[in-house]
């Protein structure tokens, strides 16, 4: 090719699978590396402070314009750009549209694509299907938390919210704690519970027990790890509530959606975020109590530090624990609450690994942008 020619590869969902997008053990390692880069500041995301989640298109409840989409559950388009340094040295952007009505057509709620770009020229390197990319990087973040915060002898996992997020979270938990043999599942619909149980038994034949429980309490009591992913309306009165007496000594509570905790539990637990800075950035844009608007547990921690109920040192960052700046688990009885948010740099990290696998193995379809640009 000439010096001006640009080619990139297109990776369909089957291509992504062949290139390793569902390799959870590798994804957990990649997310661990990414969190250290994030903690060191070797990244950029949107906004002047470099910490915005992305840019979102909202739709009105009513419109005088024929054909304009109207507001509805998960009805949006969003762009999530980022740059990540370290061993990645890549820029990229996830773009997706979301509409809960998709499920009636047999489609995912959100349909995602990701473009990976050369950090210097901006040229596209790959354009790839991103539903699995996003799902696995999201599930891997709880796995990184469990690697550093869960007891090594963890066996019993409570699943609250048996949807796609907790499927990949369970994959990551078993990747780092292979002794897990018992699952307790709580959900809002029998169909989702049955589907989760059937999937888990097929995916992990080593499991000796998959038990349906009738309440969140049942999914917490007696569990070494609890993964809570139950989306709820804004307002702490609507969030899943966990009482202190339900939580066994040494437990790890993972929060990938909304959460409220009894005050005595807040006081006895250590609180760790995947990336503390992202919650602080989100909260800076929200007037009043941030947790009342965004129910992720890290937002509650921001509120507590702001009003003096918690010292800044009590709001811990997983990157600091990974690097050894802060100790991880110090005793078998320590209880941890771990907040999982989600950031565009996660997509860049996992997309880079999968892209490099694809290049190495000759996976994907080469597409040409141009031999020479018409305008330069």
Residue 40 has a pLDDT of: 94
Check whether residue 286 and residue 161 sit in a common domain.
Answer: yes
Check whether residue 56 and residue 191 sit in a common domain.
Answer: no
Q: Is residue 104 in some structural domain?
A: yes
Residue 53 has a pLDDT of: 83
pTM of the predicted structure, to 2 decimals: 0.94
Residue 375 has a pLDDT of: 93
DSSP summary character for residue 248: P
Question: Distance from CA of residue 254 to its chain's centroid?
Answer: 11
Residue 73 has a pLDDT of: 83
Helix (H, G, I), strand (E, B) or coil at 336: strand
Q: What is the pLDDT of residues 55-111, one digit of tens each?
A: 999 999 999 999 999 998 889 999 999 999 999 999 999 999 999 899 899 998 899
What is the C-alpha to C-alpha distance for residues 124 and 116, in angstroms, rounded to an integer? 6
Residue 126 has a pLDDT of: 98
Q: Is residue 357 in some structural domain?
A: yes
Residue 51 has a pLDDT of: 84
Check whether residue 124 and residue 231 sit in a common domain.
Answer: no
The number of helices, as runs of H, and strands, as runs of E, in the chain is 12, 18
Check whether residue 240 and residue 307 sit in a common domain.
Answer: yes
Check whether residue 195 and residue 274 sit in a common domain.
Answer: yes
Residue 1 has a pLDDT of: 57
Check whether residue 81 and residue 184 sit in a common domain.
Answer: no
Q: Is residue 1 in some structural domain?
A: no
Residue 114 has a pLDDT of: 98
Check whether residue 189 and residue 82 sit in a common domain.
Answer: no
Q: Is residue 376 in some structural domain?
A: no
**H or E stretch at 211:** strand 209-212
Host domain of residue 203:
142-343
The β-bridge partners of 186 are 160
Question: How many structural domains does the chain have?
Answer: 2
Residue 19 has a pLDDT of: 98
Low-confidence stretches of the chain (pLDDT < 50) are none
What is the C-alpha to C-alpha distance for residues 354 and 107, in angstroms, rounded to an integer? 24
Residue 103 has a pLDDT of: 86
Q: Is residue 196 in some structural domain?
A: yes
DSSP summary character for residue 178: T
Q: What is the pLDDT of residues 145-193, one digit of tens each?
A: 999 999 999 999 999 999 999 999 999 999 999 999 999 999 999 999 9
Check whether residue 310 and residue 327 sit in a common domain.
Answer: yes
The backbone torsions φ and ψ at residue 21, rounded to the nearest 5 degrees and listed phi first, read -60, -25
Check whether residue 242 and residue 356 sit in a common domain.
Answer: no
Check whether residue 175 and residue 30 sit in a common domain.
Answer: no
Question: CATH number of the domain that 263 lies in?
Answer: 3.40.50.720
**H or E stretch at 322:** helix 318-323
Check whether residue 192 and residue 107 sit in a common domain.
Answer: no
Question: CATH number of the domain that 18 lies in?
Answer: 3.30.1780.10
Residue 164: which of 110, 239, 113, 102 has the closest Cα?
Answer: 110
């Amino acid at each position: 090719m000439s010096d001006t020619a640009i080619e990139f590869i297109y990776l369909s969902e089957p291509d992504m699978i062949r290139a390793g997008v569902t390799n959870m053990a590798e994804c957990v390692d990649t997310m661990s590396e990414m969190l250290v880069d994030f903690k060191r500041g070797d990244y950029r995301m949107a906004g002047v402070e470099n910490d915005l989640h992305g840019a979102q298109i909202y739709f009105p409840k009513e419109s005088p314009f024929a054909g304009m989409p109207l507001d509805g559950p998960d009805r949006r388009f969003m762009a999530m750009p980022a740059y990540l340094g370290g061993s990645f040295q890549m820029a990229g952007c996830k773009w997706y549209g979301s509409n809960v009505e998709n499920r009636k057509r047999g489609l995912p709620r959100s349909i995602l694509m990701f473009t990976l770009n050369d950090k210097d020229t901006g040229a596209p390197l790959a354009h790839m299907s991103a539903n699995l990319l996003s799902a696995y990087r999201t599930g891997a973040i709880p796995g990184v938390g469990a690697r550093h915060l869960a007891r090594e002898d963890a066996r019993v996992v409570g699943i609250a919210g048996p949807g796609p997020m907790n499927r990949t979270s369970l994959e990551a938990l078993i990747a780092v704690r292979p002794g897990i043999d018992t699952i307790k599942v709580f959900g809002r619909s029998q169909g989702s519970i049955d589907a989760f149980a059937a999937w888990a038994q097929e995916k992990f034949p080593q499991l000796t027990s998959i038990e349906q429980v009738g309440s969140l309490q049942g999914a917490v009591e007696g569990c070494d790890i609890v993964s809570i992913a139950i989306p709820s309306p804004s307002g702490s009165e609507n969030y899943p509530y966990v009482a202190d007496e339900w939580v066994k000594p040494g437990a790890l509570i993972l929060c990938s959606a909304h959460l409220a905790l009894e005050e005595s539990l807040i006081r006895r637990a250590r609180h760790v975020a995947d990336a503390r800075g992202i919650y602080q950035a989100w909260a800076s844009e929200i007037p009043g109590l941030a947790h009342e608007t965004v129910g992720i547990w890290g937002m509650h921690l921001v509120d507590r530090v702001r009003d003096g109920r918690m010292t800044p040192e009590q709001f811990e960052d997983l990157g600091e624990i990974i690097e050894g700046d802060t100790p991880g688990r110090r005793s078998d009885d320590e209880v941890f609450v771990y907040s999982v948010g989600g950031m565009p740099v996660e997509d860049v990290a996992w997309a880079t690994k999968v892209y490099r696998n694809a290049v190495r193995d000759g996976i994907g379809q080469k597409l040409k942008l141009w031999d020479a640009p018409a305008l330069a």
